[in-house]
Amino acid sequence: MRTALVYHEEMTAARLLWDDPECEIERPERLTAAVERLQQGGLEQRCLQLAAREASEAELGLVHRSDPPGATHHRGHRLGRASTQPAPVLKTELPTCLSFTTGWMGEGTVSPEYVSLLRGTQALSTEELQALSGQYDAVYFHPSTFHCARLAAGAALQLVDAVLTGTAHNGFALVRPPGHHSQRAAANGFCVFNNVAIAARYAQKQHGVCRCVGAAVGWGLRRTESGGVGCSETPCGALLCRGGLLAPRWEAQPLSGLCTPYPRILIVDWDVHHGQGIQYIFEDDPSVLYFSWHRYEHGRFWPYLRESDADAVGLGPGRGFTVNLPWNQVGMGNADYMAAFLHVLLPVAFEFDPELVLISAGFDSAIGDPEGQMQATPECFAHLTQLLQVLAGGRVCAVLEVTGSKGGSLAGCQGAVRGGLLYLAGRPAWAGGTLPRSQPCLVVSLFSPCSQGGYHLESLSQCVCMVVKALLGDPAPPLLGPMVPQHSALESIQSVWAAQAPHWTSLWQQGSTPTLSLSTCSPERRPSAVSPGGPKGKAAEAQTSAVLSSLLDQLHLYTTPPVRTVIALTAPAAALVLPPEVLHQEGSAPPEETQAWARLHEALTQDTAFTALGKVLHLLNGILDGQVSSGIVTTPVAAPTLEVVLRQGLSHGAQRVFCVALGQLDRPPDLANDGRTLWLNIRGKEAAALSTFHVSVPLSGTTGGFLSCILALVLPLAYGFQPDLVLVALGPAHGLQDPQAALLAALLRGPAGGRVLVLVEQESTCQLVGVLARVLHGEPPPSLGPFSMASPDDLQALVHLRGQLEAQWEMLQLLLECHELVA
């Protein structure tokens, strides 16, 4: 894994020169604290370190240029509060395509106004800087602001260069000032130049290649066949239109060979504020999909914009390419963020099929930030990063937005402390940010003196480290605390479906059949007290101590093992190409131990089966001892071997094991149904929840169906179960294509902190074993190929299963009010 880290010390130069409580949050220490923490953790040294360069004025002009004729000009629809900005100008829809073409990059001129205005700030006095700052909302200027802001944008461009030339696989740009609120000709919310937007345009212009759009053609046809979606709204229609090759109105005819001039870019803005600047810049552009979640509170949170709501989906050809997820309550935590990714962002992102992912990585959405007041713990950001790495061949560029906050005193972090912040020996372990909100406070604060006053910076640098570790391919520590989305989060998610379903077939599944009546889900409903790992809640009184002790257990379990991936083969495989860090395991368990287990099943006593059993037991012990994260074993007899591994795992330290059995592998009949094993079988025709802990799903023949199964069923179950070991067994007639198996394995690294053991039947190909080893090691899975829509049978199976399981598995729950979505 090659991860680029772009930074320049000079970005710490800008600071607030006068008294302004609103702006004092954005301070140099945000950056220095993160960098120091990366150094201390040995992470900086593992990265390809690049010194940021300044963006040229022409590069800034990719975004900050004078408005092209005909383009909409707006400064937002303020809600609720008096605006310090000019009166809002109403948005009008662009004349489809035409103004989009004129608005396309490179055709405007470099803004003489905004960039040169900024250039001029270098020579201003403090009084003049303060006066100019007052013209914008939540902005301050310093004589070094122009230089810093050019470095910040330049850092993002260097990162894109590194990733798109293959010098690095992914990377992180640590920058100040942030960018996502900045607009064509306006600074806003501490942001001067829109770093991520400039990077997106630059990537398209500098690295764009002419590509065939077979997938996009399929897109349009699919929508037409499915009926009801206006042809001119199809993404491919828009793309083709933009290329000027075809009329905007889609006609269902083969179009292979047509080209789209610009690569598709996904921007994921996980900052707690709406990146309205990015939204405005790409609102009519179908080649850039902008996703943002943000604290909204029905418009009562800054920047108080009408267009931050879920029904702002983009304009003209860009309709459906803006995805807003407004949080209407504070306190969103790991389960809510995960639900948003699984149920909204990822389905849409897979359908969009980006070639590059840019993250607007603000950490004011993490626990402890007094602005955001959210509860997601730093590990959550490692999981989000890991999930995004399965897109775009892993080409993920994170660009820092704002990172929490004052860094002044502990006073501001009450919410976090209430959430169960746990400090051990002066080293913070983030624990239980999602503790049930109705429970009495759990405050375990063994604060070391040095953590006093550094709390927020601690939070942000922890988050930065988590993301960099995930980019490097390290397994993400598991998410702790109950995985129960808030009702308000589900309402928000539902409002996004309602707005986006016309634009994305991958969201149709969500609304196929109402399975949960609103009455069972009243707005007063709070997350129930659920102990980690079990769908059934424990008694409330036992909760606090149970959570604490399980957190302590898990802290012990989750130090990163020295060995990331091991492969144990029973026969040499010359054709196997693996990263050098993947270890070939020579050792086996002691013969007596192997012998004892082999008695369980006749087939295990045979030659190769016995050898394989010894190897898998050895590997399992390595995983349970914390020496190894993950591994692959080949065996001639997957079924009995799986049973042994499961039993040995349960009796030697694993509390909960998630077993994903592919193909003809039956659940051992005498396995205790005690909630410690969740058995999921993917094969055959039937969809059945035989019990809460025994689920069977058919393998879909379509990409869309397969993805829905993984995102809407497998991962919610896995994250809800919170296993400490995942077993994946590819048995007889598993039917998975290599990229499907790879995607599944890659995504299953998340729920158990990277502890995944894969069993493959010996006749599997070297390619399959190789690709599985690479994804377990942290490499991105290969593409699934062109998106194809889930079949009605796929959807019915999922809806049926959800109906059976969602009462017990809260990560599956969705609020459905979807009669209008059903064709």
Nearest to 761 by CA among 600, 641, 594, 582: 641
CB 495 within 8 A of CB 313: no
Take residue 532 and report the two structure tokens written for it.
């980690």
Q: Residue with structure tokens 């940010």?
A: 433
301 lies in the site for ligand Q9C, by CB under 6 A: no
**Strands 170-173 and 211-212, bridge-based pairing:** unpaired
Is residue 425 exposed (0-12), middle (13-18) or buried (19+ Cβ within 10 Å)?
A: exposed
Take residue 279 and report the two structure tokens written for it.
């939204």
Letters for 99-138 (x = contact with ligand Q9C by CB under 6 A, - = none) are ---------------------------------------x
Letters for 332-371 (x = contact with ligand Q9C by CB under 6 A, - = none) are ------------------------------x-x-------
26 lies in the site for Zn ion, by CB under 5 A: no
- Give the span between the Cα atoms of 721 and 809, in whole angstroms: 8
Rounded to the nearest whole angstrom, what is the least distance from the CB of residue 756 to Zn ion in the complex?
34
Rounded to the nearest whole angstrom, what is the least distance from the CB of residue 86 to ligand Q9C in the complex?
18
In this chain, which of 364, 724, 761, 794 binds Zn ion, going by CB under 5 A? 364
191 lies in the site for ligand Q9C, by CB under 6 A: yes
Of these residues, 64, 181, 273, 503, which one is catalytic?
A: 181
**Binding at 302: pick from ligand Q9C, Zn ion, none (beta carbon under 5-8 Å per type):** ligand Q9C
**Binding at 181: pick from ligand Q9C, Zn ion, none (beta carbon under 5-8 Å per type):** ligand Q9C
Q: Which stretch binds ligand Q9C (CB under 6 A): 42-50, 188-196, 211-219, 675-683?
A: 188-196
Q: Which stretch binds ligand Q9C (CB under 6 A): 122-130, 185-193, 557-565, 688-696?
A: 185-193
Residue number, 303 or 314, with CB nearest to Zn ion: 303
Q: DSSP for 101-141?
A: HHTSTTSS-B-TTHHHHHHHGGG--HHHHHHHHTTSBS---
Span 676-735, contacts to ligand Q9C by CB under 6 A: none
Take residue 450 and report the two structure tokens written for it.
């040095």
- How many residues touch ligand Q9C under the rule CB under 6 A: the total is 14
Q: Residue with structure tokens 């030339």?
A: 165
- Give the span between the Cα atoms of 726 and 689, in whole angstroms: 19
Residue number, 402 or 633, with CB nearest to Zn ion: 402
For residue 599, give the 3-state DSSP assignment. Answer: coil
**Strands 694-697 and 170-173, bridge-based pairing:** unpaired
406 lies in the site for ligand Q9C, by CB under 6 A: no
In this chain, which of 27, 46, 242, 273 binds ligand Q9C, going by CB under 6 A? 273
Q: Which stretch binds ligand Q9C (CB under 6 A): 186-194, 210-218, 529-537, 803-811?
A: 186-194
In this chain, which of 114, 136, 140, 190 binds ligand Q9C, going by CB under 6 A? 190
404 lies in the site for Zn ion, by CB under 5 A: no
Residue number, 199 or 661, with CB nearest to ligand Q9C: 199
Residue number, 302 or 504, with CB nearest to ligand Q9C: 302
Distances (CA, A) of 208 to 157, 196, 805: 14, 17, 45
The CA dihedral of 567, 572, 577, 582, to the nearest 10 degrees, is: 20
Rg (alpha carbons) of the chain, rounded to whole number: 26
407 lies in the site for ligand Q9C, by CB under 6 A: no
CB 262 within 8 A of CB 240: no
For residue 562, give the 3-state DSSP assignment. Answer: coil
Q: Which stretch binds Zn ion (CB under 5 A): 96-104, 253-261, 361-369, 724-732?
A: 361-369
Rounded to the nearest whole angstrom, what is the least distance from the CB of residue 180 to ligand Q9C in the complex?
6
Rounded to the nearest whole angstrom, what is the least distance from the CB of residue 401 to Zn ion in the complex?
6
**Strands 756-761 and 259-260, bridge-based pairing:** unpaired
Contacts of 568 (CB under 8 A, 6+ apart): 584, 585, 612, 615, 616, 618, 619, 631, 632, 633, 634
**Binding at 138: pick from ligand Q9C, Zn ion, none (beta carbon under 5-8 Å per type):** ligand Q9C
CB 624 within 8 A of CB 690: no
Q: Which stretch binds ligand Q9C (CB under 6 A): 184-192, 278-286, 555-563, 799-807?
A: 184-192
Rounded to the nearest whole angstrom, what is the least distance from the CB of residue 171 to ligand Q9C in the complex?
20
233 lies in the site for ligand Q9C, by CB under 6 A: no
In this chain, which of 61, 103, 154, 189 binds ligand Q9C, going by CB under 6 A? 189
Rounded to the nearest whole angstrom, what is the least distance from the CB of residue 85 to ligand Q9C in the complex?
13
Span 5-64, contacts to ligand Q9C by CB under 6 A: 22
In this chain, which of 179, 235, 263, 362 binds Zn ion, going by CB under 5 A? 362
Span 222-281, contacts to Zn ion by CB under 5 A: 271, 273
Q: Mark whether 181 is an active-site residue.
A: yes
269 lies in the site for ligand Q9C, by CB under 6 A: no
Q: DSSP for 60-87?
A: HTTTSBPPPTT-------B-SS--SSPP
Rounded to the nearest whole angstrom, what is the least distance from the CB of residue 178 to Zn ion in the complex?
7
Span 732-761, contacts to ligand Q9C by CB under 6 A: none
Could you tell me which residues are beta bridge partners of residue 371? none
Between the two ends of the chain, the Cα-to-Cα distance in Å is: 45
- How many residues touch Zn ion under the rule CB under 5 A: the total is 5
Nearest to 660 by CA among 638, 635, 637, 685: 638
**Binding at 191: pick from Zn ion, ligand Q9C, none (beta carbon under 5-8 Å per type):** ligand Q9C
Is residue 738 exposed (0-12), middle (13-18) or buried (19+ Cβ within 10 Å)?
A: middle
Distances (CA, A) of 128 to 19, 121, 140, 144: 15, 9, 11, 14
Is residue 84 exposed (0-12), middle (13-18) or buried (19+ Cβ within 10 Å)?
A: exposed
Span 780-819, contacts to ligand Q9C by CB under 6 A: none
Q: Which residues bind ligand Q9C (CB under 6 A)?
A: 22, 138, 178, 181, 189-191, 271, 273, 302, 362, 364, 401-402
Could you list the active site residues?
181
Residues that bind Zn ion (CB under 5 A): 271, 273, 362, 364, 402
